[in-house]
């Protein structure tokens, strides 16, 4: 009873307040209208006369100009014909490599577990990607990336890597993305192979997100926050099942630390793969900038009926360029990510029940020392609790990679990379690999993601 | 209750703020920012996305740019694909429908300029990074600066009709001053008239057009392709044969190739500011040509 009265008074007061605001706003606008109406006729005439005078002066001046002008000063409106390339941007990028390792193909497949990694001694077609993007209408942009690759068995694989829309006109800094897309977790995961700074993906990415990176069907909303620096928050929900969500409802029959995965369907909507990301960007000076992000994932896994997985990550990216740069050189960039996974494995109450923890990081520095030339160094470490030293996806692994990239133009590059692996499951405990990579890109000039 | 009062107060405050606020202009280069600043005066607030020290074609798209574009009322761009490597992605991330292509807040200045070097025949990239839509470095012809100021004033008037008179006056003051300066610059560069010059990149064509000199060769064999020893040797012969006295380039290009040519042929090198902000003393569009003219006079020894 008491609360009711309070709410009533509250509503009553706020209604009054709103009325007051509306009345004052109304008064304000009508006052403005009235003021402009009062002297309007006289003012209009004066204005017209003034405009006529101005116009005459302008014409005289124009005449003078045309007579004396050194060259043309007439605006040419719409004379530059629009080309059809604006309507549909199509690009094709090809990524090929030739690599040799001190270990055989079977061992190499475990070291290079990424779907686009050079995982065979000899030649590899790492990735051929067809991208189509455009603006749908004033409300949406859309994009599709189809990939073609030849796997280690020599089979051609075609995948709908991504196909999604993003909104253009939502208010308040909001944007919705929907379809099939790479989860915006960390900096590396959403990157495509031709954007990588090394020929292969980091070990920890292969361990937690599988060979293809983490991508699935779903939707996310992001909010560009009204802060003075760049700060954006993402919330997403995606389907938790399939071969591209390996830490969650991965395919039946697959194996994680000795636990065979069962066929488990999502029980309800809360069984979706939920994702979160907070990304910040700062200009440290005119020449350097820093991005810093934290990301999180949560969803069910298929090692038991009621098991969950969560993944957390921190990522940082720093870039420095001097005042004068030619074609983007010189520069120094530094990219580091740390990821950790908590995985409930085995049926609850059973003897096999355990919680797996897998952690890893990579840190890479790129030095663009001369126009078109880059030198890279990457350090990596991955480890797990209760590890089985013979499990190549959970044992201690370390790797140092160094490479030299030559971008002949904006549209082609050559890259030579050396990897030194330390892994307990290898006979010799170490492996050395040398890979030469070539990339070309055709068609539309695709904008680079920062 | 208190909260409601605060919210209403805040809404009113925001509303009044947006009524009296200046027009927020974001430009892709400092040249556009300088002209927009002069034409817009106190009615506008201008920010450039890239500094004049950088080649806008290879600018770095940074997250801080997203915030600037998100808050903008008007986006001015050079166009003709010069910003293609970073602006489309930036516009997709900036979620500001007021400045998307096709909106009144999106102004591509290249659509008002008669661009040089438009390709009428089909091309492929074996010719290097050719801009089929035409050479986008048109701000280096000061006559185009006049056109740019006219188009900017027109658009500002559309967006903010109340201050129409102010934009018109400022534009015409700018135009008159620039027209006078053009005469002065042309007089100073008279000794260069009809002379052959070597440039580093195909970006100074408009400058040559405006001041009547000829660019007969480039240090780059093809746009965006680094010079080879073979190409440099050819240039040495050409410079000697035609007795070319001047090599011009922007401050961000490597100087080793040009210095090599200078050592072998005695050709003089002039490092020209290509944009407002390219050098600390180049603060506006007038300074830009003052700077170019004085560099050319020093290197050309006239």
- Assess contact for A372 and A329: CB atoms under 8 A: yes
Which residues in B lie closer than 8 A to residue A323 (C-beta atoms)? 51, 53
Do A10 and A125 lie in one domain? The reply is: no
Residue A49 inside a domain? The answer is no
Q: What percent of chain A has pLDDT over 90?
A: 46
Question: What chain B residue is nearest to A16 in terms of C-alpha separation?
Answer: B5
Quote the minimal CA–CA distance from B106 to chain A in Å: 14
Helix (H, G, I), strand (E, B) or coil at B185: helix
* Domain count along chain A: 2
Shared-domain flag, residues A19 and A103:
no
| A41 within a domain of the structure (yes/no) | no
- Cα separation values, A384 from A79, A305, A357, A388, B268, Å: 64, 23, 6, 9, 64
A402 in any annotated domain:
yes
A135 and A238 in a single domain? The answer is yes
Give B114's contacts in chain A (Cβ within 8 Å). Answer: 72, 76, 79
Q: Check whether residue A17 and residue A154 sit in a common domain.
A: no
pLDDT at res. B141: 95
3-state secondary structure of A209: helix
Mutate to test the interface with A, among B1, B11, B62, B99 (most CBs of A within 10 A): B62
User: Residues A259-292: pLDDT tens digits?
Assistant: 888 877 666 777 899 999 999 999 998 899 999 9
Chain A contact for B128 (CB, 8 A cutoff): yes
Q: What is the pLDDT of residue A353?
A: 86
Residue A85 lies in a domain: no
- Give the pLDDT confidence score for residue A120 in this predicted structure: 87
Contact A400, A379 (CB under 8 A): yes
Q: Is residue A76 part of a domain?
A: no
Residue A236 domain flag: yes
Task: Tell me whether residue B302 is exposed, middle or buried, using C-beta atoms within 10 angstroms of its C-beta: 0 to 12, 13 to 18, 19 or more.
Answer: exposed
Do A26 and A128 have their domain in common? Answer: no
**Domain limits for position A135:** 93-443
Residue B183, CA distances (Å) to A62, B266, B282 in order: 16, 31, 20
User: A409 in a domain, yes or no?
Assistant: yes
CA neighbours closer than 13 Å in the CB half-sphere of residue A344: 16
* Most B-contacting residue of A73, A233, A315 (CB-CB within 10 A), to test interface: A73
Q: Are B198 and B246 in contact (CB under 8 A)?
A: yes
Q: What is the ipTM of this complex?
A: 0.82
- CA-based nearest distance A84→chain B, Å: 12
The answer, yes or no, to whether residue B174 has pLDDT greater than 50, is: yes
pLDDT at B120 over 80: no
Q: How many CB atoms lie within 10 A of CB A322?
A: 13
Whether B60 sits inside 8 A of A321 (CB atoms) is yes
What is the percent of chain B where pLDDT is above 70? Answer: 89
Residue A434 and residue A329 in one domain: yes
pLDDT surpassing 90 at residue B296: yes
pTM of the model: 0.81
Candidates B17, B57, B63, B136: best to mutate against A (most CBs of A within 10 A) is B63
In this prediction, residue B17 has a pLDDT band, given cuts at 50, 70 and 90, of very low
pLDDT of residue B209: 92
Could you give the domains of chain B? 2-184 (3.40.50.1980), 190-300 (3.40.50.1980)
Interface of A with B in 230-289 (CB under 8 A): 230, 232, 279-283, 286, 289
Which class for B46: exposed (0-12), middle (13-18), buried (19 or more C-beta within 10 A)?
buried
Q: Does A411 share its domain with A309?
A: yes
Which A residues 88-107 touch B at CB under 8 Å? none
Q: Which positions ≥6 away from A426 have C-beta within 8 Å?
A: A103, A107, A111
CATH of the domain at A196: 2.40.160.10
Q: Is residue A378 part of a domain?
A: yes
User: Are residues A11 and A102 located together in one domain of the fold?
Assistant: no
| Confidence label for B127 from pLDDT (cuts 50, 70 and 90) | low
**Portion 159-198 of A in contact with B at CB < 8 A:** 166-170, 173-175
pLDDT at position A23: 43
pLDDT band at B9 (very low <50, low <70, confident <90, very high): low
Please give the pLDDT value at position A60. 57
Examine the domain organization and report whether A238 and A338 are in the same domain: yes
One domain for residues A156 and A29: no
Q: Calculate what percentage of chain A has a pLDDT beyond 70.
A: 79
CB pairs under 8 A between A and B: 159
Q: Is the pLDDT of residue B220 over 70?
A: yes
Going through A229-370 in order, the beta strands assigned E by DSSP cover 230-238, 255-256, 259-260, 273-283, 288-300, 308-320, 331-345, 354-370
Please tell me the predicted confidence (pLDDT) of residue A260.
Answer: 83
Higher model confidence: residue A250 or residue B251? B251
Do A308 and A196 fall into the same domain? yes
Looking at the structure, tell me whether residues A232 and A302 fall in a common domain.
yes
| pLDDT of chain A, 450 residues: tens digit per residue | 344 444 444 444 444 444 444 444 444 444 444 444 445 555 665 666 666 666 666 655 555 554 444 444 444 444 444 444 567 888 999 999 999 999 988 888 889 988 889 988 999 889 999 999 888 988 899 999 999 878 777 888 899 999 999 998 899 999 999 999 999 999 999 999 989 999 999 999 999 999 889 999 999 999 999 888 999 999 999 998 888 888 888 888 788 888 888 877 666 777 899 999 999 999 998 899 999 999 999 999 888 888 899 999 999 999 999 988 888 899 999 999 999 999 988 887 788 888 999 999 999 999 999 989 999 999 999 999 876 778 888 889 999 999 999 998 888 999 999 999 999 888 888 999 999 999 998 887 665 544
Shortest Cα–Cα distance, A274 to chain B (Å): 22
């Amino acid at each position: 009873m008491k609360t009711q009265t309070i709410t009533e008074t509250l509503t009553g007061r706020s209604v009054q307040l709103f009325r007051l605001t509306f009345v004052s706003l109304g008064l304000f606008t009508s006052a403005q209208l009235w003021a402009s109406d009062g002297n309007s006729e006289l003012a209009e005439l004066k204005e017209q006369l003034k405009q006529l005078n101005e116009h005459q002066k302008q014409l005289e001046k124009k005449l003078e100009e045309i007579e004396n002008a050194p060259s043309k000063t007439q605006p040419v409106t719409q004379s530059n014909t629009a080309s059809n390339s604006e309507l549909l941007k199509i690009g094709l990028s090809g990524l090929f490599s030739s690599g040799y390792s001190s270990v055989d193909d079977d061992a190499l497949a475990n070291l290079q577990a990424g779907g686009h990694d050079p995982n065979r001694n000899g030649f590899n077609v790492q990735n051929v990607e067809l991208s189509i993007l455009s603006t749908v209408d004033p409300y949406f942009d859309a994009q599709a990336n189809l990939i073609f690759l030849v796997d280690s068995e020599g089979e051609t694989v075609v995948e709908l890597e991504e196909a999604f829309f993003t909104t253009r006109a939502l208010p308040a800094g909001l944007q919705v993305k929907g379809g099939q897309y790479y989860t915006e977790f960390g900096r590396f995961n959403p990157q495509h192979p031709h954007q990588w700074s090394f020929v292969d993906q980091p070990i920890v990415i292969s361990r937690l997100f599988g060979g293809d990176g983490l991508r699935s069907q779903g939707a996310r909303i992001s909010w560009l926050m009204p802060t003075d620096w760049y700060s954006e928050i993402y919330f997403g929900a995606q389907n938790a099942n399939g071969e591209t969500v390996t830490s969650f409802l991965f395919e039946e029959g697959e194996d994680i630390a000795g636990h065979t995965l069962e066929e488990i369907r999502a029980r309800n909507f809360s069984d979706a793969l939920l994702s979160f990301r907070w990304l910040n960007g700062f200009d440290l000076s005119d020449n350097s900038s820093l991005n810093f992000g934290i990301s999180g994932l949560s969803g069910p896994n298929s090692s038991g009926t009621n098991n969950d997985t969560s993944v957390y990550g921190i990522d940082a990216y720093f870039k420095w360029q001097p005042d004068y740069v030619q074609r983007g050189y010189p520069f120094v960039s530094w990219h580091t990510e740390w990821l950790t996974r908590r995985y409930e494995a085995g049926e609850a109450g059973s003897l096999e029940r355990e919680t797996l923890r897998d952690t890893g990081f990579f840190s890479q520095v790129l030095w663009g020392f001369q126009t078109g030339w880059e030198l890279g160094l990457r350090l990596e470490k991955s480890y797990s609790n209760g590890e089985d030293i013979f499990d190549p996806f959970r044992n201690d692994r370390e790797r140092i990679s160094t490479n030299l990239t030559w971008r002949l133009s904006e549209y082609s590059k050559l890259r030579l990379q050396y990897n030194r692996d330390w892994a307990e499951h290898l006979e010799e405990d170490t492996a050395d690999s040398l890979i030469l990579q070539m990339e070309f890109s055709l068609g539309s000039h695709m904008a680079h993601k920062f | 209750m208190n909260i409601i009062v605060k919210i209403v107060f805040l809404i009113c405050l925001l509303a009044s703020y947006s009524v009296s606020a200046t027009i927020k202009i974001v430009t892709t280069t400092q040249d556009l920012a300088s002209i927009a600043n002069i034409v817009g005066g106190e009615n506008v607030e201008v920010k450039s996305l890239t500094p004049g020290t950088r080649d806008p074609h290879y600018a770095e798209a940074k997250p801080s740019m997203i915030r600037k574009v998100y808050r903008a009322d008007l986006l001015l761009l050079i166009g003709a694909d010069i910003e293609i490597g970073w602006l489309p992605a930036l516009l997709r991330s900036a979620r500001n429908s007021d400045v998307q292509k096709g909106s009144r807040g999106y102004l591509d200045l290249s659509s008002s300029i008669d661009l040089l070097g438009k390709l009428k025949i089909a091309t492929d990239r074996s010719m290097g990074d050719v801009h089929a839509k035409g050479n986008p470095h048109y701000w280096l012809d000061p006559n185009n600066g006049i056109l740019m100021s006219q188009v900017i004033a027109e658009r500002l008037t559309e967006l903010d009709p109340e201050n129409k008179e102010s934009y018109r006056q400022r534009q015409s003051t700018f135009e008159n001053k620039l027209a006078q300066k053009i005469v002065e610059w042309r007089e100073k560069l008279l000794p260069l008239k009809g002379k052959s010059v070597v440039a580093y990149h195909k970006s100074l064509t408009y400058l040559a057009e405006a001041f009547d000199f000829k660019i007969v060769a480039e240090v780059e064999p093809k746009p965006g392709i680094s010079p080879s020893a073979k190409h440099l040797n050819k240039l040495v012969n050409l410079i000697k044969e035609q007795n070319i006295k001047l090599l011009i380039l922007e401050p961000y290009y490597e100087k080793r190739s040009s210095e090599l040519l200078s050592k072998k042929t005695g050709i003089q090198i002039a490092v020209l500011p290509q944009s407002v902000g390219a050098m600390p003393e180049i603060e506006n569009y007038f300074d830009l040509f003052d700077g170019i003219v004085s560099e050319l006079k020093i290197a050309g020894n006239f």
